[in-house]
Every structure is written in structure tokens, then in C-alpha cells.
Structure 1
Amino acid sequence: MQTQCPFCSVQCKITLHPPHSSPSPISVIQTGALATALSMEDWQAEGHPNAASQGRLCIKGMNAHQHALNGDRLLYPLIRRDGKLVRASWDEALDLIAARFREAMQQHGPDTIGVYGGGSLTNETAYLLGKFARIGLGTRYIDYNGRFCMSAAASAGTKVFGVDRGLTFRLQDIPLAQCIILAGTNIAECQPTLLPYFHEARANGARIIVLDPRQTGTAAIADLHLQLKPGTDALLALTLLKLIIDNGWTDQAFIAQHTNGYHELAALLDGIELEQTAQQCGIPAAQIVQAAEWYGTAETGMILTARGIEQQTDGHLAVRYLLNLVLATGKIGRPGCGYGAVTGQANGQGGREHGQKADQLPGYRSIENESDRAHVASVWGVEPSEIPGKGVSAYEMLELADQGLLRMLFVMGSNPVVSNPNIPLVRRALEGLDLLVVADLFLSETARMADIVLPVASFLENTGTLTNLEGRVLLREAVMEPPGEARQDWSILHAIAERLGTGHYFHFNSAEAIFNELRLASRGGLADYSGITYDRLRQEEGIYWPCPDESHAGTPTMFQQRFAHEDGKAIFTALPHQYVREQPSTTRPLLLTNGRVLSHYLTGVQTRRSPTLAARELQNFVEIHPATAKRYRLKEGQWAELQSAQGQFIVRCRLSEQIRMDTLFVSMHWGGKQNVNEATPPELDPFCKMPGFKFTPVTIRSWQPERSLLK
């Protein structure tokens, strides 16, 4: 069986082999008797040749099938009665959802209902979810968990280049770069099948520079590791730019022909001092000079960012300051050059292109642009005025719920009670809703709080397209039927719309039919998929957008001739960095940052249902330097409580000399008492509404657990 990994943005292809002695996979799945009919571990997965990962699989991809075959899968709808979730029929569940939605619309208006999506949904589901919110329900309030993944880089790329696409270059071009800056990205654990590209670059003589407060597996391959203090990325980027300009390492011809705003940088860089930056970043000045020289003097070069730099409340500007380096040296639009935001979620790229974001319509169109609204309205068969205006970000929707302004929430493919900042508010907001509906594979932490839970198809059972970090659109076809009574995402949305009287906008009989409407809606947009078809994807494996017609080969390398702004030029960022946030103090002297580990994904809802993956990391942990642990009288394996101004959580200690002494690292994959976001503050980046996951002043102390308290 040929399938595709459901986890990270590489989207590796998989050949899945069922046990020879088991019943046929489809008949087993249809019975729902997964736990007794076969062993998940007896299935075997191997990498299938593909252009992105070149046939490689990581530990998550090799075991991705285990969660889909897990006996904990939701097999039928659940409705809360007398405080408990109990089995219900689809008609009962759908009728109740429609009745409650209709009641809210009539009494309070459609904007009292919110829709919360996910970055792992297919392009078809993401597109239909946006249409469902705006036309099926008539609400302006839709956003998704990709807000916590890509919003800083996406908004920065849009401002600077005129459009955001994860990588502006092909993965296979990485070995052509002479210098590569990896800023806040731990590819060795988050996208390990890409690591050979960087090894090949080094073998070709490339110098690799890593910016990270931890000595990660990625930092281990670096020629230069700038182990900077969390929250100082923007200052470091400005200082690198000043050194490049002062030393004449700029490409003046490129600047003159292809950019605007260069001369305004003088005011931005005024007052930047190397020694002061070194002190604030906590790294040697000589390392900063070396990084600037290597990147500035290299003939070809790339800068890649990820959540380490982006998940901060100044992440938008930090990325734009790094893009200044790209523009100042002319390293974009040619082989071995470019910028890349290393997408985290499976469809983090496509998920933000086709209508899940509060401010976007399909094709990366703006919901506030009249011509964009008119085009999409013509495809949907409505008047432009019938499409609601801009909503708010994912976390801000939960703030509205806490205020009683949002009364009902429909969640598909997300687990907001774990992934959001300020979990105490999020929990209170969800508990206070008049109706919470969750569509998921498992009874996640959020689903446990729901009034109605709907079972959905897994990646093995769900045909659809996904767009990987390169902007390459890929087709993943179903190889099994959904278990029990689980349904396809799109059929659930259609069934609810039918009961609300808007079903005629959702009469699709396949994912391909939805994709064909998406193609029309995206035509002429920045993310133009109109030339991509299922037939082409089957024949060509994948196609880069933009692809404006069926004779077009796609666009592997962006910005070879011009940028996406009207005048064809990119824009330097001269906005001053004026950000105030809570700093470490005597009561909270340490900086907490969070991130991923190799064996888990997002909030762990899927990976903890894989016995092989769960066994690698049974519990959450705090990575702490031995000297810091000694100062706080903590030992390896000991329980510790971390407390911020926002809240506290409890994890075991893992001592490591690979982290700064002023910094603590905690994984993001656990809920409950081990949820790092219990302590994450609610402040958002003013440009893109990204929470500050990577910078939280905390204190730490030993903790003695009570029985069952960690469940």
C-alpha cells in the first residue's frame, strides 16, 4: 500500500506492508476489531522513493500507521448526557449540532459561533472548512492551529516578498549553497529526513551556522553555533546586517534593481554596537563577526528559520530582519540561494493558503480585498457582501469565548486546550461555551471537554492533497476504509450544512471534486493551484505552486525575475524593534523555551497512540544544565515544578550540558499537569498574533507528586 506520512512538512512517501497472516486490511478496518484482529507492531513501513525525502523515513514515519490502527480510535459519535459522553447515532449528533447552531444564529447572530481548524488537514478540508464557516454558518470567526506554527514567517514573507511560500527554493538545491544559516530550527529532530541535504552541502564545502540556545543534533553539524540567549534573535539579525553593510559585503546592483527601502536602514541600524549585542545575546563578539563574514562573502547562501525564532512576540520582525540579509546580499532567486521557513505541520503550508486563516480566502487572497472577495464569491455562487469580513486569531477566539462573546465552537483536527498559551484561560473558555463540538480520531484532551464528539478518518483512509514545505502539492490517496462509523471530514461539513439549509453549497461526492473547486477559487491568486489536477499529481508525483494552467510545469524556484509586489521589487524592513516583555527577575530568574522531540508530534494525540513512539518518551521533561540543577538542588529524574506569572506545570528533570545555564527547555507534546503551556503568557506578536512560546521567565523547584495527580 502506498501512502504518505501524516506528520511533518516533508511529507515522506511510505510503502506499508500488512502482516501476511492477518485478514485483509480493509475487512479488518471495517469491523473495528483492531485490537484483537492484528498487532500494530506487525505492520511494516518503508520509505518510498520521492523527490523530497529521497525515500528516507524517520522513526515517526516508520510507525505512523500504528495510531491509525489503534483500538482507541473513535468509532461512533458521542453526545454528553448527564455529564458523560455516551454513544449516539450520526443523525442524533448532526441534528443536535444543527439545532444548537441555528438557535445561536437566531438569538445572537452567526458571529457567536467559531470554527477552529488545523494545519494537518488536507487542502480540500482546509478549503471546505473556510467555506463552511463563511457560507455554511455565516461567521467571520475561523482560524487554526497553524497560527502557532507559521504566522510569523508567513506574514514576514508577505510583507517583504509580496507572497509567502515555505521555501523559495527546492530542497535539492541546498547542497549548492556555500553558507547556510539555520535560525531556530532543529532539523535533526523535527525534519530528520532532510538532514542528508545539509551533510551534502558540508561535503561540498558549505559553512553551516546554527542559531539556537541549545546544542541540538542540528547544532552538532554546524561549523559555527551561536548559542544565543532566548529572545535576542532580532538584535542579532540587526547586528549581522550592520556588519555586512559596514564591510561592503552587499550586492548593490541587486539592491538597486530589485528592492525598495534600502536607504532607510541607516536609521534602523543607528546605535547598534557589536559588543553590546554580544553581551545581550550571551555569545562572543568574534562569533557574530565570523557569521556575518561567512554569509556576507559567500557567493551563494540560504537562511532557514523555524519555530525557535518565529514563536516569539517579536518573531515577525526577527524574520524580516533576517530577510534584510537575504536582500542586502542578493541571495535569492538563483541556484543555491534563498529563504526558507521550515514548516512544522504536515500541511502547514497548504493549510494557510485556502481559507482557514481569519484574514484569508482561497489562493492566498485577502478577505479585505474587494476584487479577491468578488472572485471567490463568483466561484461560491454568492454575493461578495455575503462573505463575512476578517475575524481574529485562534487564541483571540478563545479570549472572546472567555468573555462570553463566542458561545459555540466547532473544532476539527486540533487540540486547543493543550496547544494554546495561557491554558488556564483556555480551559475556562471551553468550559463556559454553550456548545463545544470536536471532530477527531481520538478522545483528545479537548474532545474530553466536548458536548459532541465526531469520529473522523485517519490519513490511511482519507484521500486529499497536502502541500509540503517546498510548496510542492502532493496527492495522498486512501488505502483503507474508515473504521466503525467514522466519516470523512468533508462529508461531516456537508451533513451539517444540509441541516442548516446551506447544503447546496457543499454538494461534493469526492475529495477530487472539492479540489477542482479549490482550483477555480485559487485561479489568479498568489497561491494559484488552477493548473494542478489529480491526474497530473498521479503522473508527476508533485507540482510546485504557483501553477496557473495545466500546461505549466509549476514554479520550483521563486523570484527568479521579480517579486510579488506590484512593482516587482522586494521591500527592506526599516521598522524599529520596540518590544517590551517580562524579563527575568529575582523571583523568576530563568528563561523557559519549548519545542519538539523526535518521537512525538504536536500535542501527542496521535504519537502517544503509537506504542513504538510512546515508549521512546513516556513523560515530559525539563532539560536543565547541571550547574543550574545544582543551584536549585535538583537531580536527574527528579520531579520539578516550573512556575511563571501565568501558571505552573510539573515535569521530570533531564540534566544536560547542551543548554545554556540561564535557559530551560520543555517539550510541547504533553497535556494535563505536564503541559508547558500552563505557564506560557498570553501576549501576542502585534503583527501576526503569534504567542511567545519561546520566552517565559520562570522559577523552578523540586516537587513531590501525589498519586494520580499527573494524569
Structure 2
Amino acid sequence: MTQVAAPAVDTHCPYCALQCGMRLTGVRVEPREFPTNRGGLCQKGWTAGSLLTSPARLTTPLVRVDGELRPAPWDVALDLIAAKLTALRKSHGADSVAIFGGGGLTNEKSYLLGKFARVALGTSQIDYNGRFCMSSAAAAGIRAFGLDRGMPFPVSDLTSADAVLLIGANPAETMPPFVQHLTNAGRSGGLIVVDPRRTPTAEQATLHLQPRPGTDLALALGILHAVVADGLARTDYINARTTGFDAAWRIAAAWWPERVERVTGVAAADQRKAAAVLAAADKAYILTARGTEQHARGTDMVGAWINLALALGLPGKSGSGYGCLTGQGNGQGGREHGQKADQLPGYRKIDDPAAREYVAGVWGVDPDSLPGPGRSAYELLDALGTENGPRALMVFGSNVIVSAPRAGRVAERLSDLDFLVVADFVLSETAAQADVVLPVTQWAEEDGTMTNLEGRVLLRTKALDAPDGVRSDLEVLHGLAVRLGQPDGRFPVDPETVFTELRQASKGGVADYAGVTYDRLRAGEALHWPVPAEDHPGTPRVFLDRFAHPDGRARFAAVDHTGPAESLDDDFPLLATTGRVLQHYQSGAQTRLVEELLTAVPEVFVEVHPDTADRAGLTDGGMARVVSRRGEMTARVRHVSSMRTDTVFLPFHFAGDQRANLLTNPALDPTSRMPEFKVCAVRLEVS
């Protein structure tokens, strides 16, 4: 495999939304100084270059013949896809074809994928794996502030914080360079971590609150109660900059800390201590992440933590605030430009007539030709191959057989499709089930923009050539669009050309990129959206003057605790929660190919308190069968004395019968449509 290396190129890590600065010389990685990572990299970042020459790399299309995937020329593969999709659309309508995207795709790919679905296919059936990541925080942010930008301030602002409350976040493993921004809060005695596990992040905390999984909302209500009852609320801020406090307080008033202690297991004294620490700090932040978002009531859970931030007067205040730690590399940008079921570029709503007219004008099509909202991610996957569901699916940048909840059901749905296409650079578990697999470029082999967790638009610059036979996702979409009858110029293949169109399509929208250009990014400008014009400096800190609602005020949410979607019983007496480990990322399709990372963590494990393991007849290092109401998987037992006795933990990066998502509950949040990944009822058995 021959690759031509460019000179040393400044770029960004292909993994999480911290988007650490790195320098590539060929495939050799070096860290570089950048505000988010300040010269640091985690183990995944250091080893990212090895992916570029992995022997598992796909370099030719694969087409299934007589049950086996066999190499095929590009024209044969694309002609087959176009013919199959055309026939299905003719026989069963446009919605018989669906698209599933990913939060790791560049802004250009996300944008063109949404356009391809709505214009070339005419389908409403498009969503992406970011629905499984950030959707609850996004919905809560829009409800509270009128705008969703995960962090409405630069990461570097955290460096001077006196107090930081982290809820459901374990950055010491998920984004290690981020932790250096918490040093001052830790030294000041103000680092508070909410997590059912004693994680490496919790080990560094001044105060670790360890609630029963699924009870975060009750805990937020208890701390809010303490803030108000102890006279710590910022009434001047509440009166001047918010609405809805009275309705929210009527609920929180019934959740005094002692009552919350009975529900969550968190001591009332610790709840009051958390309230006092946050209220006493000159600079304080509340940050949420997947642990408190991936629930069937995730939007309300995040809303409860935002209520606490508002009562303390933090959002929209220089040096303080509320933010969400975005997970996937382009988790922010990926949800802004059209690959969500209900969305058009610029974070516009697809059912807004004015938005439809504007975007259709940019695309040169009739607004009435654009479809309406489609199914959300799990609902889309669950409908595949059914009587009224899509009969074909195209997957870009996702591995749903591992990453989706109730993964066994999802695998069955994929097998019932008439036609499955996957674009990937390795043969992931999902790609292995496809009828056609298309080999596409990796992060270092193409230009493209990403939007990191602080809303900063970044340019990832091409560092080396892709292997012969590999094409970009943009080339794939262009080739298919032309075969489906679209004009040759409607789906460009040059990333900068696509981005120029994206800028125009986003202009005037909530996420306005109109003033962001490749030239400005190449020059090193720090551009946080919105950037409405080329002479605009960007908006690193939104909300300082007003919130994005018409009246300029933030909204308290009247939310109450109800508990997880399923309960425990004698057959399923334990709570299982899932998450990440330092060495692996998402479905593991990439990191399980890196020898150093796989050697460090070669298989799935289940963390369990020794007493809980003993009751189930399990020994440390032995194998356990973990069973839920939806499926079962096997895992190696790890005794962890800091675990709650009612809780077990499983990482979700592994495949086959090691998939944690064989267990998880697809119960959906009514607003965000987020599945309940973070808590389900299980039992342990000797394997």
C-alpha cells in the first residue's frame, strides 16, 4: 500500500470533540499547542496515525455475490446502488430508502448527506448516531436558552474557575487533556463530580456524589432546594434574566435533601455542601455529559441541572456558565447542517416554511419538493424492513450493530432489508452485513471542517494521499446523485466548494457560518459560530448580553423526577450502566484495530462490587453472563470495591456477544428521542 506523505501538517485528532491540535508528518503524530489540549494528547491521539496504514483498511468496493462480499470496480458498485435505489423508490416511494449518518463526519459531509437525502432521493428518512449522543442536551439547551451550542464559551475559560460541577462526565478517560482545565477548581476545593462510579475523574474530585443510576434529576432538585432554602439563590439574576422560576421551584420545594437522599443515596449534607461550594465561587461552571443525558427523561434531567445553573446566576455571566461536553468529534457541527430527521442547514427546522423556502433557493429546487421530518435514529432503525418502513439503508460513518440500543433487534432489522450500503474505511460489524461496501477516505486524507465542543470551527487539512482505489464520501454522493438524475454540479466533490455552499445555506440561521472561510481558518483565526459576515470576529461567548429567546430571557423548566423507564424485580435485581474506557472510542471499529489499544483493553468487562459478585457466584477474573429483558452478553468480571452494590458497569466498545448494547433499553425521551442507554435492569449469572 503506497501513500505519498506531505510535509508536516497541522491538523486535529480524529476522535473526540476536544479536537486536540496535532501535527502529522506522514503517519507520525506529534502534539501541538492548541487551546483545548494545550500540547497534550491521550493514548488514542498518540496512536491515531497507525489507523492510516492499518492492514484492515478497505481499498476496493465490495459487492455481495452468492452470499459473499467480493471486490468490484467502482462503476459496478455505484451502478448497482443507483439501480437498486431507483427501483425501490419507483415501487415503494421515496421513503423506502433511508440514510444513517454520523457525528464524526465533517461539516461538509454532514451537509451534503442531508442535501443528498432530501434532493437526490427525496426521502424524509435520514438521521444519525449523534441522536444517541447529544440530543437531550441539545433539546434542553434550546428550551432553556433558545439556542444549542454545547459550550457557549471557550474551554480555556474553565482554567480560572473556582468551582466546577461535572455531571455524568469522566473526562479523565474520555478526553484526558481536558482535565488540565479543571486544575484550579480542584486546588480551590471546588471540583464536584456526580457519577454512580468512582471513576478516575471522581478520584480527583473534592466531592464525589454517587447517586443510584437514573436518579440524577432528583439529585438536581435536591441541590436546587438547598440553594433556595439556604438563601443562596441569585434572585437579582433570576428576576432580570429568566422566566419560569416559580413553577420550577414549586416542584423543587417538595424535594428537600433528606427526601432526595432516600431516592439517590447521596447524603443530604453532601447536597448542601455542593450548593454552598457553587454559590460561594466567584467563577463557577456546571457541565453535563452522557451520563445524565442518555435517559428516557434525559431532556428533563439536563433541564434540572440548567435550572440549578440559572438559580445560581451562572449562564451568560463572564467567567461562569453552563455547558455540555460534546462527545463525538463533530458532534456539534454534525447536528447543525441537515443530517438530523427534522433539520435543514444552519440549525433550521425542516417544517418551518421560511427555512424550507430559503434552503430550497440555495439548492435550486422547489420548496414543495423537500420532504418533511422523518423518524429519529432508533425509530428509523427499528422500522427497517417492516411493512411501512424503509427497504434500503445507506450508512455513512456509523456502526449501528454495536452502537445502537437493543443491538440484537437492530441487527435483525438490517438483515430484513432489501438492500444495505455502508461507506467506511474498514469492514465494521455493520459493513460486514452489507450488500455493498464502499471504501472511503480517512481524516488525514482529505480537507474538511469540524466544529468542536466549544462551537469553534476548525480546518482539518489533508496530510497525505489516500490509497489507490479509495474515494471520499463527497465523491460517493456525487457519483450516486448523477446516476440518480441530478445535475453534475449540484453535488460538488471539492470540500471547500461544499463549504462555500454550506456557508450560504446556513446564513441567517441559528448556526450561522456565513462569515467562516477556509482562508480565515488557514490563517489561524478562532471562529466560534455564529459568524454572520466575513468581517465578523465570531462569538466565543454567547448569552453575555441576552439569551436567544425573543424576550432575551432564559427559561426555567418545570421538571420532576420519575425514575428509569424500567424497574428492578427478583429476576433483574441490578442496575447496569454503560460508558467508555480511555483506550477505546465509540463502537471500537477504529481503536480495536490499534494493537497498543487492544492489548491494553482486549475484551469487555463488567465492574461489580465484590459482595454483589459473591452473591451471584462470580469470582474476580471469571466470566459472567449479564442478562437483561432484551438480551444477554458475556463479560470478564472485575471486582471494584467502590461500585455501588446495586450497580454494574460495562464499556460499550466491543462486538459480537460482548456488546453491552445487547442489553440496553430503547425507551425514548419524548423530546430528544434519546434512548435510555445509561440504566437498565439486569442479573448476573456464571458463564
Q: Same fold (TM over 0.5)?
A: yes
1:15 maps to: 23
Residue among 410, 421, 427 paired with 2:405: 421
- Residue of 255, 261, 271 corresponding to 2:238: 255
Offset of residue 298 of structure 1: 2.6
Correspondence for 2:287 among 270, 285, 304: 304
> Alpha-carbon deviations, 1:146-192, whole Å to 9, x = none?
11100010110011100111111111111222221000000100010
| 2:109 partner letter | T
Tell me which residue corresponds to 1:624.
608
Measured against aligned partners, the alpha-carbon deviations of 1:622-671 in whole angstroms (never above 9, x if no partner) come to 11111211221211221110001111001111111132111100001011
After the TM superposition, list the runs of 4 or more consecutive aligned residues in structure 1 that deviate by more than 3 angstroms.
Answer: 575-580
Separation of aligned partners in 2, 1:446 and 1:377: 33
Residue type at the aligned position of 2:275: A
Once the two structures are TM-superposed, the CA of residue 297 in structure 1 deviates from its matched residue by 3.2
Partner of 1:241: 224
Q: CA deviation at 1:448?
A: 0.6
Query: Does structure 2 conserve the Cα–Cα contact (< 8 Å) formed by 1:316 and 1:685?
Result: yes
Residues 431-440 or 481-490, more deviating:
481-490
Identity, % of aligned pairs? 46
Q: Does 1:383 align with 2:366?
A: yes
Worse-superposed segment, 284-293 or 136-145: 284-293
In structure 1, the partner of 2:75 is 91
The one-letter code matched in structure 2 to 1:13 is G
CA contact (8 A) 2:99 2:127 kept: yes
Q: 2:316–2:547: 8 Å Cα contact kept in structure 1?
A: no
Gaps of 5+ in 1: 19-42, 704-711
In 2 relative to 1, CA 421–368 (structure 1 residues): closer, same or farther, beyond 3 Å?
Answer: same
The one of 150, 160, 170 equivalent to 2:134 is 150
**Partners in 1 of 2:632 and 2:102 — Cα distance?**
26
Q: 1:130-529 counterparts in 2 under 5 A? A: 130-203=114-187, 205=188, 207-404=190-387, 405-504=389-488, 506-529=490-513
Label 1:229 to 1:576 Cα distance change in 2 as closer, same or farther (>3 A). closer
Quick check: 1:105 aligned with 2:89?
yes
Contact conserved, 1:77 with 1:89, CA < 8 A, in 2?
yes
TM-score (norm 1): 0.94
Residues 9 and 469, structure 1, Cα contact 8 Å, conserved in 2: yes
* 1:579 Cα offset (Å): 5.7
Determine the structure 2 residue equivalent to 1:664.
648
1 CA distance for matches of 2:282 and 2:133? 31
Are 1:495 and 1:503, in contact at CA under 8 Å, matched by a contact in 2? Answer: no
The separation in 1 between residues aligned to 2:568 and 2:310, in whole angstroms, is 34
Q: Which amino acid aligns with 2:589?
A: V
**Who is 2:518 aligned against?**
534
Distance 1:249 1:474 in 2: 40
Alignment of 1:593-632 (within 5 A): 593-632=577-616
Map Cα deviations across residues 344-367 of structure 1 (whole Å, 9 max, x no partner): 111001000111111111111111
CA distance in structure 2 between the aligned counterparts of 1:392 and 1:567, rounded to whole angstroms:
32
CA deviations on 1:193-237 (whole Å, 9 max, x unpaired) are: 11111113333x250110001111110111100011100001111
1:649 aligns with 633
User: What is the CA-CA distance between 1:580 and the residue it aligns to?
Assistant: 6.0
The one-character-per-residue Cα deviations of 1:409-457 (angstroms, maximum 9, x if unpaired) are 0000100111111122111110000000000011100001000000000
Aligned-residue offset at 1:578: 4.4
Q: Alignment partner for residue 48 of structure 2, among 64, 67, 72? A: 64
Supply the AA of the counterpart residue of 1:89: P
Deviations along 1:501-536, one digit per CA (max 9) or x if unpaired, are 024463424100000000001111111111100000
The whole-number CA distance in structure 1 between the counterparts of 2:625 and 2:87 is 44
- The residue matched to 1:526 in structure 2 has which SS? coil
In structure 1, distance between residues paired with 2:393 and 2:430: 11
Q: Which moved more, 1:542-551 or 1:576-585?
A: 576-585
Maintained 8 Å contact 1:175/1:202: no
- For 1:50-61, what aligned pairs fall within 5 Å after superposition? 50-61=34-45
Structure 2: distance between partners of 1:581 and 1:604: 28
Moved more, 666-675 or 400-409: 400-409
1:621 Cα deviation from its structure 2 partner: 0.6
Q: Tell me how far 1:270 sits from its aligned partner.
A: 4.3
8 Å CA contact 1:178, 1:336 repeated in 2: no
Equivalent position of 1:37 in the other structure: none
C-alpha spacing 1:534/1:206, structure 2 compared with 1 (3 Å): farther
Partner SS state of residue 68, structure 1: helix
Unpaired stretches in structure 2, ≥5 consecutive residues: 1-7
CA–CA separation in structure 1 for the residues paired with 2:562 and 2:487: 48
Contact 1:175/1:336, CA 8 A, preserved across alignment: no
**Contact persistence 2:162–2:184 (CA under 8 A):** no
In 2, the alpha carbon distance for the partners of 1:86 and 1:143 equals: 29
Amino acid at match of 1:464: G
Contact 1:176/1:335 (CA < 8 Å) preserved in 2?
no
1:541 CA displacement: 4.8
Aligned to 1:5: 13
Equivalent-residue separation in structure 1 for 2:499 and 2:565 (angstroms):
43
Deviation per residue, 1:33-92 (Å, 9 max, x gap): xxxxxxxxxx54220111211121110000011112101101000100000000111111
Q: Return the letter of the residue paired with 1:233.
A: D
RMSD: 1.3
Displacement of 1:263 in angstroms is 1.8
Deviations 1:573-608 (A, max 9, x none): 014444662111111111000000001000111111
Give the partner amino acid of 1:525. Answer: G
Change (3 A) 1:583 1:437: same
Residue type at the aligned position of 2:112: L
Whole-Å separation in 2 of the counterparts to 1:471 and 1:238 = 29
- The 8 Å contact of residues 225 and 256 in structure 2, kept in 1 or not, is answered as no
User: Match for 1:451: what amino acid?
Assistant: D
* TM-score, scaled to structure 2: 0.97
2-structure distance, mates of 1:142, 1:544: 27
Q: For residue 460 of structure 1, give the secondary structure of its aligned residue in structure 2.
A: helix
SS in 2 for 1:682: strand
CA distance in 1, matches of 2:552, 2:356: 23
Tell me, in whole angstroms, the C-alpha distance in 2 between the residues paired with 1:65 and 1:542. Answer: 26
Three-state SS of the structure 2 residue aligned to 1:278 is helix
1:590 aligns with 2:574: yes
Partners of 2:493 and 2:569 lie apart in 1 by 59
Change (3 A) 1:293 1:201: closer
